Amino acid sequence: MTILEHEGVRPRIDPTARVAPTATICGDVSIGPNTSVGFGAVVVAESGPVQIGANCVIMDTAVLRGIKGAPLTIGDNVLVGPRAYLTGCTIEDDVFLATGSAVFNGAHIGGKSEVRVNGIVHLRTRLPEGSMVPLNWIAVGDPAVILPPDQHEKIWAIQKPLDFPRYVFGVERPPEGETIMPTVMPRYARALRRRHAADREIGP
């Protein structure tokens, strides 16, 4: 395993937790008792903390990121499936996140919920306790509306006011046909380079 000190903070891993040899744990990360982090998984406190509770299974190749203003918090008895992507969100107890699921900045998933294979929980979306997002469907809004992927116009009507460019990158949404990428990407890449320049491997 690769354990990295990031911005002067070391991960805190309960002695009863299992972290696979090829997993990477970076920065202000807390991993609770009897939790398992699988092969190739990446858990990184990019600019905000990550807290994982007890009896969780983070499966192979999942990516978990805490970000500024949106820590990543996972309760107890949670399964995060292979290729899942979680960033800056809150997952309550007893949640099942299947293979390829994605949960984005500021989202909140209530306890005993399920996000099935390739399901998406969008930016600033709130799923109440006991919710279910079907295969490939998208949950968007607060309270969440759960829609199939072919309902793009309905999804966008809810998603647009959630204002991804401002919420994530702090910039205005550009006029139709233009893009934020030339403005945002150089700044973002510089910030990542600067933040990680002093990362230090501290071993298992």
Q: Which residues are paired to 76 by β-bridges?
A: none
Cβ atoms < 10 Å from Cβ of 170: 9
Domain boundaries, the chain: 2-201
pLDDT at 10 over 90: yes
117, 68, 66: which is closest to 89 by C-alpha? 66
pLDDT given at position 46: 87
Structure tokens given for 151: 């309902």
**Residue 176 pLDDT grade (very low, low, confident, very high; cuts 50, 70, 90):** confident
Pick 183 or 96 by higher pLDDT.
Answer: 96
Q: Which residues are paired to 98 by β-bridges?
A: none
pLDDT tens digit sequence for 76-103: 999 999 999 999 999 999 999 999 999 9
> What mean pLDDT, rounded, does the chain reach?
95
Tell me whether the omega of the peptide bond preceding residue 143 falls within 30 degrees of 0, making it cis. yes
**Residue 204 pLDDT grade (very low, low, confident, very high; cuts 50, 70, 90):** low
Which residues neighbour 102 within 8 Å (Cβ) at sequence distance 6 or greater? 84, 85, 86, 119, 120, 121
CA 111 – CA 201 distance, rounded (Å): 35
- Kindly tell me the burial class for residue 195, based on how many C-beta atoms sit within 10 Å of its own C-beta (0-12, 13-18, 19 or more): middle
Q: Of 55-64, 70-79, 185-194, which range is least confident?
A: 185-194
CA 190 – CA 181 distance, rounded (Å): 14
Mean pLDDT of 39-51: 96
β-pairing, 200-201 with 2-5? antiparallel
pLDDT at 127 over 70: yes
Return the CATH class of domain 2-201: mainly beta
The sign of the torsion formed by the CA atoms of 13, 15, 20, 21 equals positive
Q: Which residue has the tokens 């390829």?
A: 100
